[in-house]
Chain A
Amino acid sequence: MIEIQGLTKRYGSKLAVDRISFSVGKGEIVGFLGPNGAGKSTTMNIITGYLSATEGRVVIDGHEILEEPTEAKKCIGYLPEQPPLYQDMTVWEYLNFIYELKKAKTASRTKHLETVCGMVKIGHVKDRLISNLSKGYKQRVGIAQALIGNPEVLILDEPTVGLDPNQIIEIRSLIKSLSRSHTVILSTHILSEVQSVCDRVIIINQGVIVADDTERNLSEKLSKDKRYTLRVKAPQTDALTALSRLERVDSVRPHGQKEEGVYEFLLQPKENQDIREDVFELLRERDWPMLEFKHNAMNLEDIFIRLTDPAVAQSISKANRKEEEQSASKEKRKSRRFFGPKEEKEEESK
C-alpha cells in the first residue's frame, strides 16, 4: 500500500531524514515513534506530498507521489501536527469545503459528513465557529477532515494530542476500528498508544530508522542479555560472594538493603545460560529465604530509551554513508569496465 525507498531530506546542510525505507501493507497500523525533532513530521509531510524529498521515492497504492500527485493524494487522509483549520468557518462549512477540495465521491454528501461527524463525536458543535472550539474539539475536527472521502491511507501526526484521557481512549478505539478498511501510519511520542493501537513500531531517531518490528519482537531481541533481580534474606557480603561464585553467573551487583536484613542483587547470567535453578539450589543449601526473584523483561519504554541513544542513530547513519561510498565506487568500477583500457577487459574475459 505504502512503499518508501531511500527517503532523504536535507534542509540546507542539515540532514533531517536519512535514507529511510519501509513499506506498509494494507490494513496495517504502524506506529511512528521517536523523540522530538527525530524527523517524524518531515517524513509524514513527504509521504503526503506537502514536502518533496531530496532523494528517494514514495509510492502510494501504485502511484508515485511526484509523478502522479493527484492520484496518490486521492488515497490519503492527512492530519498534520497542527490541524489545518480555517478559524473563520463553522465546522460544517469547513467539512463541506474539504469534501469539495478532495473531490470526494460518496453517494450522499450530507450523509457522509454526518457519519464522519458521528465517528469523532463533533455532531453537536458542527454549527460553531472553529475559532471558538477548545483544543480537543479542534483536534477532532482535524481527524474528521482526514477521514472525509474514506481515503484508504490515513496518516495521522500525533492524533491524540490535546485530548483528555476519555477522548484519547475513544480516538484510539476509532483508529483501531478503522484499520479494518484503512492503512494507518500514526506518529506519537506516547508509548502506551503504540502498545495499544499499533501492529508494528518504527522507531526513528536523528533521521534514521533505528528499529522496525512488532513490539514483541523488539523486546525479545533487545533483552537477549536477560537480567534477574533477586531479593534474599541473608548477610549481604556472604550472599554477594556466594552468588558471584556460581558458575553460570557473569556478574552480581548489590542493589542495597530493601527491608531489615533483606538485600537485593542484580544478576547477569553468562550468555544464553539459565541460572534460575543454580540460584535456587544455592539458597536452599545456605538456608537463605528467597523473597523475590524476577526476570527483568524490557518494556517499550526501555526499548525506546535504548534505541534512541544518539550512538545508535550515528552508527546507522555512518553505515549509510559507507554504503553510499561503496555503491559510488562500484559505479566507477563499472564505468571503467566499459570505457577503461583494453587489458583490463581482456583479463576479465579470460
Chain B
Amino acid sequence: MTAIFKREFSAYFKNPIGWVFLAIFWLFCGWGLFILVSAGYNMISYVFSNMIIVLLIGIPVLTMRLMSEEIRMKTDQALLTAPVSLSGIVWGKFLAALALFGVGMAMTVVDFIILSSFASPQVSIFVGNLIGLALMGGAFIAIGLFISTMTQSQLAAAILSFAVILFFYMLDGFASYAPWGWAVDLLTSISFFSRYNEFTNGILDYGNIIFFASVIFIFNFLSVRVLERRRWS
C-alpha cells in the first residue's frame, strides 16, 4: 500500500493534474479570503462554503485517472500480480488523492493565520470546517475512484464523477420539490451539503462524521469488488 501511495502521490506532481488541482483550490481559498477581508468579516466558514465549487471541479480531475489509466495502459497487470491485496491497491490510491486534497487544504491554514492577525476567528469553528471538508472531500474521492475503476476512459470517469457531485450539490433543491414526505426524508438524509453545512457552523455531530466515513468505506469496498469482478469476467 505504501508503494502505491507514494507512486500515486508523486505522479500528481509529474503531470499537470496535481498542479491544476492545487491552482483551482488555492485560487478559491485566496478569493474567499479576499472577500472576507475586504468586507471586514471574521467568519472563516465563508472560505469553506465556497469550497463546494472546488469539489465539483477539482475532485473529478483528481480521481479520473487513478484506475482508468492503469487499465488502459495495462499497468494494472503489475499491481494485480504483485503480492498486494486489492484493498491495499484501492486504499493506497484513495489515500494518495486524499493527501493531495490535504495539501490543498493546507492553504486554508494560511487564510486562518492571516485572518487572525487582524480579527479573532474562532478556532473551534475552523477545526470543525477542516474536519468537515476533509470528510466530504474523502467521500467524493471514494466515489470518483469507484467510477474510475469502472472505465478505461479518463474523460468518461471525469464527466461521470462531475455529474455525481453535481447531483449531490443539487440534491437539497430536488428534496424541497419532492411530492412525497418519505422522498423528502430520503433525499435530505443522503444530502452531503446539509451535513457539511453543520460542520461549517461549527457543529461537530458524530452522526455526520459516521455518515461520511461510511460513504468512504462503502465506495472503497465497491471499488475492490469491481477489481475483483474484472478478474472473473
Write the residues of chain A forming the contact surface with B, with a CB cutoff of 8 angstroms.
Answer: 11, 45, 48-52, 69-71, 73-74, 76, 78, 80, 82, 84-89, 97-98, 100-103, 145
Q: Would A78 and B232 be within 8 Å (CB), given that A86-B11, A100-B3, A100-B6 are in contact? A: no
21 A–B contact pairs at CB < 8 A? A50-B231, A52-B231, A69-B83, A70-B85, A73-B83, A76-B81, A80-B74, A84-B73, A84-B74, A84-B76, A85-B73, A86-B11, A88-B15, A89-B14, A97-B3, A97-B7, A100-B3, A100-B6, A101-B4, A101-B78, A101-B84
B 1-24 to A, binary, CB cutoff 8 A, 1 in contact else 0: 011101100010011000000000
A88 to B65, CA, bound (A): 13
List the 8 closest pairs (A to B, CB-CB), nearest first. Answer: A100-B3, A84-B78, A84-B75, A73-B83, A101-B3, A48-B81, A70-B83, A80-B77
B78 touches A49 (CB 8 A): no
Is B80 an interface residue when CB atoms closer than 8 A count as contact?
Answer: yes
Taking A88-B14, A97-B7 as contacts, is the C-beta distance between A102 and B82 under 8 angstroms? yes
Which B residues lie within 8 Å of A11 (CB)?
A: 233
B7, B75, B83, B232: the one within 8 Å of A52 (CB): B232
Q: Which residues of B contact A84 (CB under 8 A)?
A: 73-79
New A-B contacts (17) at CB < 8 Å, excluding given A69-B85, A101-B82: A45-B77, A49-B81, A50-B231, A71-B83, A73-B82, A80-B74, A80-B77, A80-B78, A82-B74, A82-B77, A84-B77, A84-B78, A86-B11, A89-B7, A89-B14, A98-B78, A100-B3
CA distance A50 to B77 in the complex (A): 6
**Is A50 a contact of B85 with CB atoms below 8 Å?**
no
Residues of B within 8 A of A (CB-CB), count: 24
Q: Can you name the residue of chain B whose Cβ is closest to the Cβ of A103?
A: B83
A145 touches B81 (CB 8 A): no
Q: Which of B2, B7, B81, B85 contacts A78 (CB 8 A)?
A: B81
Given contacts A70-B85, A80-B74, A82-B74, contact A50 B80 (CB under 8 A): yes
Q: Report B-chain residues with C-beta under 8 Å of the C-beta of A70.
A: 83-85
Per the bound structure, the CA–CA distance linking A78 and B79 in Å amounts to 11
- Pair A74/B83 contact, Cβ less than 8 Å: yes
Chain A nearest CB, measured from B209 CB (Å): 33
- Choice from A51, A71, A76, A89 contacting B231 with Cβ under 8 Å: A51
| Contact A101–B79 (Cβ < 8 Å) | yes
Q: Residues of A contacting B85 with CB < 8 Å?
A: 69-70
